[in-house]
């Protein structure tokens, strides 16, 4: 497994293309899932993944290895996603930031191809506000420390701990309600 | 935040084994004495069982599988010379070539003059071999013709350009000589 150290070593040697060829498979899922959470559209997220890596490639000279590659990529992804959302908003295609729910037409088309777990996961994430959702994913899935998440999201460590706990609590309540049959 | 709440907030990280040894012991002791905390612990375990990290990662990997990131072949590099300098450099190079051409032509002309001078000197030296009493007009003509023929043959052998008028004169002279010999 190629580590971040290998990538940084290649960057120091000026082998940017080789460094990117390791970075992309290692972080493709992370970038795509982050873009997906912001943009809420698979095609847009795929395009954004491409855009993020090109942006990263062109900015490699500015990456000094002070922060983790994941943190750096998250910042690029988040900025590009927020810019894209802004652009869409200005064009009149408003996007609801705090929900992952799709429009009814999209829902009927897409749910056909989605697995049961995929639907369940998206439903779970849709009940969480953006900050809680991001904190939950970064802590539970990406297994990042609170310090790293704090650097990514610009939130205090105390605030992140509270966000994570509230996310778990909300999910627990949601699952209990679902079990009791209150939610389809 | 009281102690009960503080420990509640630690339970999700406790379940995922992300607490320090000291914090783990604090949570374990609290769980042993508090039914409420024990209940929360069970609820949160249910959340993490329903949203298993590996299942979510698998889902994300499936979604990103079709994403092909293509990088540009070369990163954009800053031009070392501004465009204006490229034009100037070309102009300087052209001037340099022109100067070399003119200079070479001048040197060729100087060499040609030197050859002519050398020939004249050699002729004069040859004539000087004769004493004034011995010297007759026929001898002088013969010596000059011999010298001219020698230079002519030498020029042909070395591939030098021959003056067409001189060539014509020599050809006529040789034809005349042959004709005279035949008559005799």
Check: CB of residue B32 under 8 Å from CB of residue B51.
no
Tell me: do A152 and A120 sit in the same domain: yes
pTM as predicted: 0.61
Check whether residue A19 and residue A30 sit in a common domain.
yes
Domain span holding position A177: 98-184
> Considering only CB atoms, which chain B residues are within 8 Å of A80?
none
Residues A166 and A84 in one domain: no
- What is the pLDDT confidence band of residue B74, given thresholds at 50, 70 and 90? low
pLDDT at site B135 = 57
Q: What is the pLDDT of residue A106?
A: 53
pLDDT beneath 70: ranges in chain A: 1-2, 93-113, 182-184
Give the torsion through C-alpha atoms of A64, A66, A70, A71, to 10 deg. Answer: -120
**Which residue of chain A comes nearest to B44, CA vs CA?**
A172
Output the average pLDDT for chain B.
79
Residues of A in contact with B64 (CB under 8 A): 28-29, 32-33, 46, 49
Domain match, A16 and A79 both = yes
Q: What is the CATH number of the domain that holds A34?
A: 1.10.1740.10
**In the structure, what pLDDT confidence band is assigned to residue B79 with cuts at 50, 70 and 90?**
low
Contact with chain B for residue A141, Cβ under 8 A: yes
Percent of chain B with pLDDT over 70: 76
Q: Do A54 and B72 touch (CB under 8 A)?
A: yes
A6 and A88 inside one domain: yes
What is the rounded average pLDDT of the residues B81-102? 78
**∠ CA(B59), CA(B62), CA(B65), 5° rounding?**
150
Highest mean pLDDT among A112-116, B49-53, B154-158: B49-53
| Three-class secondary structure assignment of A68-110 | CHHHHHHHHHHHHHHHHHHHHHHHCCCCCCCCCCCCHHHHHHH
- B60 and A53 within 8 Å at the Cβ level: the answer is no
Question: How many Å apart are CA B8 and CA A169, to the nearest integer?
Answer: 10
Domain boundary among A48, A69, A95: A95
B64, B67, B70, B75: CA torsion to nearest 10: -40
Give the pLDDT mean for B112-137.
62
Count of domains forming chain A: 2
Please tell me what DSSP assigns to residue B78. -
- State the pLDDT at residue A11: 85
CA B41/CA A89 separation, integer angstroms: 42
Q: How far is A159 from chain B (nearest CA, A)?
A: 12
Residues A104 and A179 in one domain: yes
The per-residue pLDDT of chain A, averaged, comes to 85
| B14-to-A81, A132, B17, B20 alpha-carbon distances in Å | 33, 19, 5, 9
CATH number, domain at A134?
Answer: 1.10.10.10
Residues A55 and A73 occupy one common structural domain: yes
CA-based nearest residue to B44, from A159, A165, A135, A126: A165
* Domain ranges, ordered by start, for chain B: 3-64, 83-183
């Amino acid at each position: 497994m190629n580590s971040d150290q290998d990538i940084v070593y290649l960057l120091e040697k000026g082998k940017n293309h080789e460094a990117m060829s390791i970075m992309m498979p290692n972080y493709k899922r992370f970038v795509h899932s982050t873009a997906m959470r912001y943009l809420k559209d698979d095609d847009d997220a795929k395009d954004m993944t491409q855009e993020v890596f090109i942006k990263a490639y062109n900015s490699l000279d500015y990456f000094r290895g002070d922060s983790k590659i994941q943190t750096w990529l998250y910042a690029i992804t988040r900025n590009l996603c927020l810019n894209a959302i802004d652009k869409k908003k200005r064009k009149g295609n408003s996007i609801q930031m705090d929900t992952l729910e799709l429009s009814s037409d999209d829902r009927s088309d897409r749910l056909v191809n989605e697995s049961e777990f995929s639907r369940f996961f998206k439903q779970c994430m849709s009940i969480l506000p953006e900050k809680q959702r991001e904190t939950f994913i970064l802590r539970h899935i990406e297994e990042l420390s609170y310090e790293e998440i704090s650097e990514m999201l610009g939130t205090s460590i105390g605030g992140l701990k509270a966000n994570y706990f509230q996310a778990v609590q909300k999910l627990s309540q949601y699952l209990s309600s679902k079990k009791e049959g209150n939610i389809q | 935040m009281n102690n009960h709440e503080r420990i509640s907030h630690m339970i999700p990280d406790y379940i995922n084994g992300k607490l320090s040894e000291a914090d783990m012991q604090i949570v374990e002791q609290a769980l042993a004495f508090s039914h409420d905390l024990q209940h929360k612990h069970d609820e949160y375990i249910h959340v993490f069982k329903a949203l298993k990290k590996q299942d979510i990662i698998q889902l994300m990997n499936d979604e990103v599988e079709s994403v092909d990131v293509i990088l540009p072949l070369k990163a954009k590099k800053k031009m070392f010379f501004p465009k204006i300098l490229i034009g100037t450099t070309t102009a300087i190079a052209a001037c340099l070539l022109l100067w070399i051409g003119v200079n070479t032509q001048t040197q060729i002309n100087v060499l040609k003059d030197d050859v002519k001078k050398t020939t004249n000197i050699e002729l004069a030296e040859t004539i000087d071999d004769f004493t004034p009493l011995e010297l007759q007009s026929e001898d002088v003509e013969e010596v000059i013709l011999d010298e001219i023929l020698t230079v002519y043959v030498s020029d042909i052998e070395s591939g030098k350009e021959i003056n067409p008028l001189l060539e014509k004169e020599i050809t006529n002279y040789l034809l005349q000589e042959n004709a005279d010999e035949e008559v005799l």
